Amino acid sequence: FFMCSMILNFLNVQMPPRREPDLPVLPQATIVAQFRDYHPEKFSGQGDTRIVDEWIQGLELIFEVMDCLDRYRVICAQLQLTDDARLWWNAHWSMRPGEKAGCTWERLKELIREKYYPMYYRAEMERQFLSLKQGTRSVDEYEREFTRLAAFVPDLVRTEAQRAQHFIDGLYPA
């Protein structure tokens, strides 16, 4: 029972469906100004994977504090791209002009990881995810590692059912 409770708690806490609230929508310029008040980091596309992770995590923290809607997350994030990252962003969307308006924050993170995590690194993270077992970890420690690695394999955890199955597969047998 405890394990089922932990799994349900994990699914409810980690993956609530993000519903756009029925509140009055602030003008885009107001959202951007509020976002900039938090002094978010810029991302140039230079450095190692740790820099990519820290940049994404920093933005996610700001977005959560602001309770920022998804469409504004993408706008605010793209404003933080500089140098090579800005060139990549512009080139990427110049080849797909009709898709840009539908880009979500989750998709933007996927695109950035595809671009700035080397193929060997993504392959290693996928291998680690697929072989992840609870082992001697607590369920909380296992869940943190599961969540970290799941970010690298969005196609394997696209639905709640897929995510739950992978999570359960790595737990100790009941």
Q: What is the pLDDT of residue 12?
A: 54
Q: What is the pLDDT of residue 4?
A: 53
Q: 47: phi > 0 → left, psi -120 to 50 → alpha, else beta; which?
A: left
- The tens-digit pLDDT sequence of the chain (174 residues) is 455 555 555 555 554 555 555 555 678 899 999 999 999 999 999 988 889 989 999 999 999 999 999 999 999 999 999 999 999 999 998 888 787 778 999 999 989 988 998 889 989 999 999 999 999 999 999 999 999 899 889 889 999 999 999 999 999 864
In this structure, are residues 14 and 53 in contact, taking their beta carbons and an 8 Å threshold?
A: no
Q: What is the pLDDT of residue 6?
A: 56
Give, to the nearest 10 degrees, the angle between helix 160-169 and helix 2-14.
140
- The C-alpha atoms of residue 40 and residue 58 are separated, in whole angstroms, by 7
Q: What is the pLDDT of residue 96?
A: 86
* 43, β-bridge pairs: 81
Q: What is the pLDDT of residue 26?
A: 77
- The C-alpha atoms of residue 166 and residue 174 are separated, in whole angstroms, by 15
Q: What is the pLDDT of residue 99?
A: 79
- The C-alpha atoms of residue 74 and residue 32 are separated, in whole angstroms, by 11
Measured distance between the N- and C-terminal CA atoms of the chain, rounded to whole angstroms: 9
